[in-house]
Amino acid sequence: MKELTVLAINGSPHSEGGTFQAINIVAKELEKQGIKTEILQIGNKSIRGCQGCGTCKKGSTNGLCVFNDDEVNIAIEKLKNADGLILGSPVYYAGINGTMKSFLDRFFYAGASNLRHKVATSVVSVRRAGGVATFDQLNHFLYLAEALVVPSIYWNVVHGTSEDAIQQDKEGMQILENLGQNMAWMLKMREATKESLKEPSPVASKTRTSFIR
Ligand SMILES: Cc1cc2nc3c(=O)[nH]c(=O)nc-3n(C[C@H](O)[C@H](O)[C@H](O)COP(=O)(O)O)c2cc1C
């Protein structure tokens, strides 16, 4: 079997904060199964929001965003070669942080097709409340990309902002360790069936209605 790799996006401005710790718990489980994780930290970068220009859909940018001066296109290129994706975000006012939102809108609007039928999950770091709303927000991106979203025994939220505090969140630790094991299994299952099981073709022409017509 080829060497499997996972790209992880750390949306936090803190390179070794709670979000990093949460990603790392999953990455350690993947590592035990021989799967490497590359963490790309975007939360401390200047990333503009989507302008809704639609240029990325017209073919002239080769599936990249028209703005080429931040981490978005770098991440799209990395996703092309990765077998899986982890999205990690801190909770800011019961949702993902602003930089992560700007990043994800463009990363997915331009690059979602590179995640189709790949294995993906999201993790959240929270001090107290808003974790599940943030987890839901991250998963909206994954489902629309037709990713194979990894399950665990509860929603992927850990409490605490330091490694020490997170280690004390025993249930959170167990959720993420189990998530990592499930992710490794799904990555290997996907790779093992690549030749023998034909994947469904993408929808040829997406129907778009405004509910009434
Ligand atoms: C602007 C801002 C808003 C926040 N909002 C919340 C919140 O709604 N609920 C909460 O429990 N913690 C909130 N926090 C705390 C962070 O979610 C928490 O410290 C998280 O672990 C930070 O992750 P990080 O260390 O990866 O940056 C907020 C922090 C900041 C800076």
pLDDT in tens, 163-202: 899 999 999 999 999 999 999 999 999 999 999 999 999 9
Cβ–Cβ under 8 Å, residues 22 and 166: yes
Task: List strand residue ranges (DSSP E) for 65-159, in order.
Answer: 84-92, 95-96, 119-126, 148-149, 157-159
Dist CA 1 CA 119 (whole Å): 16
Six token digits for residue 96: 């993902």
Instruction: Return the DSSP state at 162.
Output: S
pLDDT at res. 212: 76
**CA gyration radius for the chain?**
17
Mutate to test the pocket of ligand 1, among 91, 132, 176 (most ligand atoms within 8 A of CB): 91
What's the CA gap between 109 and 140, in Å, rounded? 13
Region at 62 (left for phi over 0; alpha for psi -120 to 50; beta for the rest): left
Whole-number Cα distances in Å, 139 to 104, 149, 152: 11, 8, 13
Decide if pLDDT at 93 tops 90.
yes
Digit-coded pLDDT (tens) for 12-37: 999 999 999 999 999 999 999 999 99
* CATH 3.40.50.360 applies to domain 5-192: yes
Rounded to an integer, what distance in angstroms lies between the CA atom of residue 67 and that of residue 126?
A: 31
pLDDT-derived band at 161 (thresholds 50, 70, 90) equals confident
For residue 213, pLDDT over 70 is answered with: no
Ligand 1 midpoint to CA 92 (Å): 5
Ligand 1 midpoint to CA 121 (Å): 20
For the segment 193-212, what is each residue's pLDDT rounded down to a tens digit? 999 999 999 999 989 888 87
Q: What's the gap in Å between 102 CA and the centre of ligand 1? A: 17
Residue pointed to by tokens 């809704």? 52
Question: Which of 92, 159, 168 is the best mutation target for the ligand 1 pocket, counting ligand atoms within 8 Å of the beta carbon and taking the most?
Answer: 92
Question: Which residue(s) pair with 8 in the sheet?
Answer: 39, 86
CA distances from 101 to 10, 33, 40 (A): 12, 31, 15
Average pLDDT of the residues in 140-164: 96
| Chain mean pLDDT for the chain | 96
| 178 C-beta neighbours (distance < 10 Å), count | 18
Q: What would the pLDDT profile of 98-144 be if each residue is shown by its tens digit?
A: 999 999 999 999 999 999 999 999 999 999 999 999 999 999 999 99
